C-alpha cells in the first residue's frame, strides 16, 4: 500500500451510478497515493467494485470504487478509488512532489499538504 498524501485536487467524475443514472460532476480529493485517492463531494449512489472515470487537465483514467461513505454519516459523499491500470501516472505529479527523501529525516508532525488550484477538465479523446 502506497503512502497517502493530503492533497486537495479538483477532479471530474464521470460514471453511471448504482441506479443507472449518468453522473458527470466536479469533486475533489482529500488525499492521494500513487495508485488511488479518497474523493469528496460525490453525489449519487455507488457501490464498491463499480468503475468510474476521473479526469483532471488532459489526464483521464479509469478507477475501481473500493469504499463508499455511508449516507447520513460523516463520510457521506466520500469514495475511495484505486487505479485499474497500475502503471498509470495519473497521480505521479502530486505523489512525486511529496516523496520523502530517505536521506533526510522528516518529523512526524510535518505532514505534506498540497492544494492544487484550477478546475478539473474532462478532455475527450
Q: How far apart are the first and last CA of the chain?
A: 31
Among 119, 120, 86, 89, residue whose Cα is nearest residue 14: 120
pLDDT at residue number 95:
76
pLDDT for residue 94: 84
Question: Who has greater pLDDT, 106 or 119?
Answer: 119
CA 98 – CA 84 distance, rounded (Å): 22
Residue 101 pairs in a beta bridge with: none
Residue 6 grid cell:
493530503
Taking residues 38-63, report their average pLDDT.
Answer: 96
Mark residue 20 as left, alpha or beta (left: phi above 0; alpha: psi -120 to 50; beta: remaining). left
Average pLDDT over the chain reads 83
Q: 69: number of CA atoms within 13 Å, CB side?
A: 16
Mean pLDDT, residues 51-65 taken together: 96
* Percentage of residues in the chain having pLDDT higher than 90: 65
Confidence of residue 122 (pLDDT cuts 50, 70, 90): very low
State residue 84's pLDDT score. Answer: 97
DSSP 8-state secondary structure symbol assigned to residue 121: -
- Residue 68 pLDDT level (bands cut at 50, 70, 90): very high
From the CB of residue 8, how many other CB atoms can be counted at a distance below 10 Å? 15
Q: Is the pLDDT of residue 98 over 80?
A: no
- Decide if pLDDT at 26 tops 90: yes
What is the spatial distance between Cα 101 and Cα 54, in angstroms, rounded to a whole number? 29
Amino acid at each position: 500500500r502506497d503512502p497517502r498524501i493530503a492533497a486537495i485536487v479538483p477532479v471530474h467524475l464521470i460514471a453511471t451510478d448504482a441506479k443507472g443514472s449518468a453522473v458527470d460532476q466536479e469533486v475533489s480529493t482529500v488525499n492521494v497515493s500513487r495508485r488511488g485517492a479518497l474523493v469528496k463531494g460525490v453525489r449519487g449512489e455507488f457501490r464498491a467494485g463499480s468503475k468510474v472515470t476521473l479526469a483532471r487537465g488532459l489526464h483521464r483514467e479509469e478507477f475501481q470504487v473500493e469504499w463508499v461513505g455511508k449516507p447520513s454519516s460523516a463520510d457521506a459523499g466520500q469514495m475511495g478509488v484505486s487505479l485499474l491500470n497500475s502503471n498509470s501516472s495519473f497521480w505521479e505529479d502530486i505523489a512525486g512532489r511529496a516523496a520523502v527523501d530517505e536521506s533526510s529525516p522528516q518529523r512526524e508532525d510535518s505532514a505534506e499538504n498540497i492544494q492544487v488550484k484550477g478546475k478539473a477538465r474532462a478532455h475527450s479523446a
